[in-house]
Chains A and B, each alone.
Chain A
Amino acid sequence: DTGVSQDPRHKITKRGQNVTFRCDPISEHNRLYWYRQTLGQGPEFLTYFQNEAQLEKSRLLSDRFSAERPKGSFSTLEIQRTEQGDSAMYLCASTSGSRSEQYFGPGTRLTVT
């Protein structure tokens, strides 16, 4: 299997701008997760998709955040009107079937100036 890929790897944006990240899960993985990791912390869950359905959203996912997985394959995470507090590593993970473990991508590091 090719692994989970994320694009871009790094993004620098000015406060107030919108940004969009993409995640391509491992082929045929039907479950996809987004996490956010800030400096010195472990990843924190943002949202979860099973196929194209968004089944769970964390309270961390404010109304400025939106995620989609339109065809049940790749997913996008959009942040509108970015704030400096949005600076973090955004990680995508995927899995399938009865597996409990999740496979992570390399992450997108967002810096808001």
Chain B
Amino acid sequence: AQSVTQLGSHVSVSEGALVLLRCNYSSSVPPYLFWYVQYPNQGLQLLLKYTSAATLVKGINGFEAEFKKSETSFHLTKPSAHMSDAAEYFCAVSTNQAGTALIFGKGTTLSVSS
């Protein structure tokens, strides 16, 4: 069985500050991990993915995430927040078997203040 826990349902940062969104996973098999972003009334857009290659993954819009097996974590970071980063962020887990559904966390809402 797989599951995802996102710590903190709401994170607030100032523009230019570091963004850190936390994700811990549980998986009985080697996981594939994803971060998606959702803007109001829109679908989900893929930010980045980990599929057992490099543990530090770079994504779009300056985001990156590091896979830490010992900590079962896949935290999302961005060095400097922009106002346009305000959105809801979802961490998801899957497996390497084709067709496996994504299991999502409950999401973290990121607010950015000027």
Nearest-CB distance from B80 to chain A (Å)?
26
Q: A45-B101, A56-B101 are in contact. Are A100 and B96 (CB under 8 A)?
A: yes
Please tell me if B102 contacts chain A, counting CB pairs below 8 Å.
Answer: yes
Of the four ranges (under 10, 10 to 19, 20 to 34, 35 or more), the interface on chain B belongs to: 20 to 34
- CA of A55 to CA of B90, assembled, Å: 25
In the assembled complex, which residues on chain A have CB atoms less than 8 Å from the CB atom of B96? 100
Number of residues from A at the complex interface, CB < 8 A: 28
Is residue A85 contacting chain B, with contact meaning CB distance below 8 A?
no
Whether the Cβ atoms of B46 and A100 lie closer than 8 Å is: no
Determine whether the beta carbon of A106 is less than 8 Å from that of B42. Answer: yes
Are A102 and B102 closer than 8 Å at their CB atoms? yes
Question: How many angstroms between the C-alpha atoms of A24 and B51 in the bound complex?
Answer: 27
B window 14-55: CB within 8 A of A:
32, 34, 36, 41-46, 49, 51
Residue of A nearest to B9 (CB): A40
Asked if B98 contacts A43 (CB within 8 A), the reply is: no
Is there contact, CB below 8 Å, between B98 and A42?
A: no
Contact A104-B43, Cβ < 8 Å, known A42-B105, A42-B106: yes
Measured in the bound complex, the distance between the Cα atoms of B41 and A4 in whole Å is 15
A110 → chain B closest CB, angstroms: 13
Q: Does B73 contact A (CB under 8 A)?
A: no
Contact A107 to B51, CB < 8 A, known contacts A33-B101, A48-B99 = no
* Complex: A105 Cα to B107 Cα, angstroms: 18
Whether A41 and B107, one on each chain, are in contact in the complex, defined by CB atoms closer than 8 angstroms, is yes
Question: How far is B101's CA from A58's CA once the two chains are assembled, in angstroms?
Answer: 10
Contact B46–A43 (Cβ < 8 Å): no
Q: 4 closest Cβ contacts across the A-B interface?
A: A42-B104, A45-B101, A104-B43, A104-B44
- Chain A residues packing against B (C-beta within 8 Å): 4, 6, 31, 33, 35, 40-45, 48, 50, 55-56, 58, 91, 93, 98, 100-107, 109
A-B contact pairs, 13 of them (CB 8 A): A4-B43, A40-B106, A42-B104, A42-B105, A43-B90, A44-B104, A56-B101, A100-B94, A101-B49, A103-B46, A104-B43, A105-B43, A106-B43
